Amino acid sequence: MVEARVAHTQIHRRPRLPSNQLALALSGGTVLVVQTNFRAFAAVFATLANWACSTPAAQPDAASPQVDATAAHDAQVDGPDSAGPAGGRYYFYAFHNEPHLTESEVAVAFPKLRSRVEKASGYGIKLTLMMGISWADYFVKHPNDANEVRQWASKGHELSSHHHSAYHPKPDGFASSQAFYETTASPSAKKSKAFQGTYAEWTRRQQLFNPTLKSGCAGDEADKSVMPSIIAYDSCSGFLMHGPVGVRGAARDSAQGFAEYVLSGTTLDGINRRWLAHTFLDTSAELDSAKSTFLTIANGVYGAVNHSDDDAELAIADQWIEFLHQQDPSGAKSVTLTGAIEGQLLPVQAIDSAVLNQVFSAKQ
């Protein structure tokens, strides 16, 4: 899969011209190729200069209605293949802050997360911090820690969310209804966590900590009906974001993290949402595979994730941060999940609603 993608990404590179030719970009996207001998170049340059000087700058028509900037932006983003790619290899790095942790477990994991945020911040790397419901509850009870996390957000990190649906072996207990939870969750999952409430309650508690929440990993790999309505941007669709639209991926495949487009689709509740993707870096083998895949990318966005409560994974996280710093010393290509989608770094590709809303195997 990686080799096929390498071939695909090469098409974004401009073909080289012979050494005695030069490409000039004209108005309207026209490209003029000329011989680079002095006399021919001078003639072309003079023609262009005269044209530019004789063409008056466009002036706004006072009688014309003003264009709404927001509406214009939405129209551009919602096009079939809008904006992008902006060029280059971008990346986002997320931490899953697990929703099934107890308050005391969150208290232990929080300093470990802080350490990685500080490390990433020192390199200009922005993190997407996906907070499970137990983390949101913890921060409501511990305002000093909550203020510290909000300071992270002010420095460019994203406060996002993480939901373990009824399909997950360690669910957070929230679902569209109790009936759905009781019929979908496994016996061991229900024993681990009884039904806690609907997504309205999940949203209420998340927003007590993060009122502007709109992104996350909603555990929707198998079934898009498990997505809380507030989540507009997600990284856990189960689909690949490169090649033909609608192809299923595998979370443990490093190619899963590569996106050459943003996926757009409407779920059964009538909400239009957008997805990127990430791969897991749980093991050293997955880390090495992700590094190899990352280095093959010419244009696109690469997403990866670790868990903040696992010491073995945190050691891998340190290595991934160092690797990203080596590839991007200034952090110029670091983005958050929302930043990657709203920044129009990639074209948008629509997925058929029937394909999007199928219920797939929960095993990815």
Last residue of a domain, one of 55, 76, 105: 55
User: Which residue has 């200034």 as its token pair?
Assistant: 330
Last residue of a domain, one of 11, 30, 55: 55
Answer yes or no: is pLDDT of 188 > 60.
yes
In a domain? residue 229: yes
d(CA 353, CA 264): 10
Name the amino acid, one letter, at 93: Y
In a domain? residue 225: yes
Domain count, the chain: 2
Answer yes or no: is pLDDT of 132 > 50.
yes
Residues 101 and 51 in one domain: no
Residues 132 and 200 in one domain: yes
Answer yes or no: is pLDDT of 3 > 90.
no
Residues 30 and 172 in one domain: no
Residues 214 and 313 in one domain: yes
Residues 163 and 208 in one domain: yes
**3 state SS of 19:** coil
pLDDT digits (tens, 9 = 90+) for 198-213: 999 999 999 999 999 9
> Token pair for residue 256?
């899963």
194: left (phi over 0), alpha (psi -120 to 50) or beta: beta
Contacts of 286 (CB under 8 A, 6+ apart): 252, 254, 279, 280
pTM of the model: 0.77
In a domain? residue 82: no
Residues 169 and 315 in one domain: yes
Residues 117 and 249 in one domain: yes
In a domain? residue 69: no
pLDDT digits (tens, 9 = 90+) for 13-62: 333 333 334 343 333 443 333 333 433 333 333 333 343 333 333 333 33
DSSP state of 185: S
pLDDT the model gives residue 363: 57
Closest CA relative to residue 275, chosen from 238, 217, 334, 233: 233
DSSP labels, 25-68: E-GGG-EEEEE-SHHHHHHHHHHHHHHHHHSPPP---TTSPPPP
Residues 27 and 143 in one domain: no
pLDDT the model gives residue 252: 83
Residues 131 and 273 in one domain: yes
In a domain? residue 150: yes
- Helices then strands, counting H and E runs in the chain, come out as 13, 13
Mean pLDDT to the nearest integer, 244-267: 94
Residues 45 and 189 in one domain: no
Name the amino acid, one letter, at 167: Y
pLDDT the model gives residue 123: 98
232: domain CATH number is 3.20.20
> Token pair for residue 293?
């895949």
Residues 34 and 175 in one domain: no
pLDDT digits (tens, 9 = 90+) for 98-112: 999 999 999 999 999
d(CA 78, CA 342): 11
In a domain? residue 310: yes
In a domain? residue 159: yes
d(CA 245, CA 84): 17
Q: Which residue range is the domain that position 118 belongs to?
A: 89-356
Answer yes or no: is pLDDT of 295 > 80.
yes
**3 state SS of 138:** helix
In a domain? residue 208: yes
Residues 132 and 240 in one domain: yes
> Token pair for residue 100?
């099934």
